[in-house]
Amino acid sequence: KYVCFVITLELNARTFEVSILMHRVFSQVVDSESASELLAALAHPVRLEVFRELMAHGANGVSAGNLALAVELAPNALSFHLNRLKQAGLVSAQRAGQQTIYRAGLNTMRELVSYLDATCCNEVAGGCGPQCPPKPTTPKENGS
Protein backbone atom coordinates (compact mmCIF):
# COMPACT_ATOMS: atom_id res chain seq x y z
CA LYS A 1 0.00 0.00 0.00
CA TYR A 2 1.21 3.49 -0.81
CA VAL A 3 0.36 6.79 0.81
CA CYS A 4 0.82 10.32 -0.51
CA PHE A 5 1.49 13.54 1.34
CA VAL A 6 1.69 16.90 -0.38
CA ILE A 7 3.68 19.64 1.35
CA THR A 8 3.37 23.22 0.15
CA LEU A 9 5.89 25.83 1.23
CA GLU A 10 5.89 29.54 0.48
CA LEU A 11 9.15 31.34 1.06
CA ASN A 12 10.22 34.73 -0.25
CA ALA A 13 7.33 34.86 -2.75
CA ARG A 14 8.30 31.44 -4.13
CA THR A 15 6.04 28.44 -3.77
CA PHE A 16 7.37 24.92 -3.52
CA GLU A 17 5.12 21.89 -3.64
CA VAL A 18 6.48 18.48 -2.83
CA SER A 19 4.47 15.31 -3.32
CA ILE A 20 5.82 12.41 -1.35
CA LEU A 21 4.57 8.98 -2.41
CA MET A 22 5.86 6.33 -0.07
CA HIS A 23 5.30 2.67 0.53
CA ARG A 24 3.41 2.24 3.77
CA VAL A 25 5.32 0.23 6.32
CA PHE A 26 3.73 0.01 9.74
CA SER A 27 6.06 1.38 12.34
CA GLN A 28 5.96 0.98 16.07
CA VAL A 29 8.92 3.33 16.46
CA VAL A 30 6.92 6.52 15.93
CA ASP A 31 4.30 7.29 18.54
CA SER A 32 2.11 10.33 19.06
CA GLU A 33 4.75 12.26 20.97
CA SER A 34 7.60 11.59 18.54
CA ALA A 35 5.31 12.29 15.56
CA SER A 36 4.54 15.68 17.12
CA GLU A 37 8.26 16.38 17.52
CA LEU A 38 8.98 15.43 13.91
CA LEU A 39 6.14 17.55 12.58
CA ALA A 40 7.20 20.48 14.78
CA ALA A 41 10.71 20.31 13.33
CA LEU A 42 9.27 20.45 9.81
CA ALA A 43 6.75 23.17 10.67
CA HIS A 44 9.22 25.99 10.05
CA PRO A 45 9.29 27.08 6.37
CA VAL A 46 13.09 27.23 6.20
CA ARG A 47 13.53 23.80 7.78
CA LEU A 48 10.94 22.35 5.44
CA GLU A 49 12.81 23.80 2.46
CA VAL A 50 16.12 22.43 3.79
CA PHE A 51 14.56 19.00 4.29
CA ARG A 52 13.01 19.09 0.82
CA GLU A 53 16.41 19.89 -0.68
CA LEU A 54 18.04 17.06 1.27
CA MET A 55 15.36 14.64 0.08
CA ALA A 56 16.05 15.69 -3.50
CA HIS A 57 19.69 14.57 -3.02
CA GLY A 58 18.64 11.18 -1.66
CA ALA A 59 21.20 8.80 -0.19
CA ASN A 60 24.11 10.74 -1.73
CA GLY A 61 23.45 13.73 0.48
CA VAL A 62 24.88 17.18 -0.08
CA SER A 63 27.66 19.24 1.46
CA ALA A 64 26.78 22.04 3.84
CA GLY A 65 28.19 24.62 1.41
CA ASN A 66 26.14 23.39 -1.54
CA LEU A 67 23.05 23.10 0.64
CA ALA A 68 23.49 26.69 1.84
CA LEU A 69 23.70 27.86 -1.78
CA ALA A 70 20.65 25.82 -2.82
CA VAL A 71 18.41 27.19 -0.07
CA GLU A 72 20.00 30.65 -0.10
CA LEU A 73 20.95 30.71 3.58
CA ALA A 74 23.99 32.02 5.40
CA PRO A 75 26.05 29.14 6.85
CA ASN A 76 25.25 30.07 10.47
CA ALA A 77 21.49 30.19 9.75
CA LEU A 78 21.67 26.86 7.92
CA SER A 79 23.58 25.33 10.83
CA PHE A 80 20.85 26.41 13.26
CA HIS A 81 18.11 24.77 11.18
CA LEU A 82 20.15 21.63 10.46
CA ASN A 83 20.77 21.17 14.18
CA ARG A 84 17.03 21.31 14.87
CA LEU A 85 16.38 18.73 12.14
CA LYS A 86 19.21 16.53 13.47
CA GLN A 87 17.77 16.69 17.00
CA ALA A 88 14.46 15.43 15.62
CA GLY A 89 16.20 12.59 13.76
CA LEU A 90 15.27 13.92 10.33
CA VAL A 91 18.84 14.66 9.21
CA SER A 92 22.16 12.89 9.58
CA ALA A 93 25.63 14.35 9.12
CA GLN A 94 28.85 12.62 8.12
CA ARG A 95 32.33 14.07 7.82
CA ALA A 96 33.98 13.55 4.43
CA GLY A 97 37.43 15.10 4.54
CA GLN A 98 36.97 18.79 5.24
CA GLN A 99 33.27 18.74 4.36
CA THR A 100 30.20 17.61 6.19
CA ILE A 101 27.67 15.72 4.09
CA TYR A 102 24.05 15.99 5.19
CA ARG A 103 21.34 13.47 4.34
CA ALA A 104 17.60 13.41 4.91
CA GLY A 105 16.47 10.77 7.39
CA LEU A 106 14.37 8.92 4.84
CA ASN A 107 13.63 6.02 7.19
CA THR A 108 12.41 8.42 9.86
CA MET A 109 10.18 10.13 7.31
CA ARG A 110 8.83 6.76 6.15
CA GLU A 111 8.03 5.86 9.74
CA LEU A 112 6.27 9.18 10.27
CA VAL A 113 4.21 8.75 7.10
CA SER A 114 3.34 5.19 8.12
CA TYR A 115 2.31 6.35 11.57
CA LEU A 116 0.11 9.10 10.13
CA ASP A 117 -1.44 6.71 7.64
CA ALA A 118 -2.07 4.05 10.28
CA THR A 119 -3.50 6.38 12.90
CA CYS A 120 -5.06 9.25 10.99
CA CYS A 121 -6.60 7.52 7.98
CA ASN A 122 -7.85 4.29 9.52
CA GLU A 123 -11.46 5.51 9.65
CA VAL A 124 -11.57 6.50 5.98
CA ALA A 125 -12.56 3.86 3.45
CA GLY A 126 -9.41 2.98 1.52
CA GLY A 127 -7.15 4.72 4.05
CA CYS A 128 -5.34 7.82 2.85
CA GLY A 129 -5.51 6.73 -0.77
CA PRO A 130 -3.10 4.88 -3.02
CA GLN A 131 -1.76 7.78 -5.02
CA CYS A 132 -1.18 11.51 -5.02
CA PRO A 133 -4.22 13.47 -6.14
CA PRO A 134 -3.86 15.55 -9.30
CA LYS A 135 -2.69 19.09 -8.73
CA PRO A 136 -5.70 21.43 -8.82
CA THR A 137 -5.74 23.72 -11.82
CA THR A 138 -6.27 27.43 -11.60
CA PRO A 139 -8.45 29.33 -14.08
CA LYS A 140 -5.24 30.65 -15.68
CA GLU A 141 -3.91 27.10 -16.23
CA ASN A 142 -7.06 25.72 -17.83
CA GLY A 143 -7.60 28.77 -20.08
CA SER A 144 -10.64 30.24 -18.29
**Class of the CATH-defined domain 2-120:** mainly alpha
Q: Who contacts 119 (Cβ-Cβ below 8 Å, separation ≥6)?
A: 32
What pLDDT, in 10s, does the model give residues 85-105? 999 999 999 998 999 999 999
**CB neighbour list of residue 38: distance below 8 Å, 6 or more residues apart:** 30, 88, 89, 90, 108, 112
- Tens of pLDDT, residue by residue over 18-70, are 655 554 444 445 688 888 899 999 999 999 999 999 999 998 999 999 999 99
Q: Are strands 14-23 and 99-104 parallel, antiparallel or unpaired?
A: unpaired
Check if the beta carbon of residue 83 is closer than 8 Å to that of residue 47.
Answer: no
In DSSP terms, 3 is beta-bridged to 22
Q: What is the pLDDT of residues 120-134, one digit of tens each?
A: 766 666 556 555 556
- In the 8-state DSSP scheme, what is residue 98? T
With a threshold of 0.95, does the pTM exceed it? Answer: no
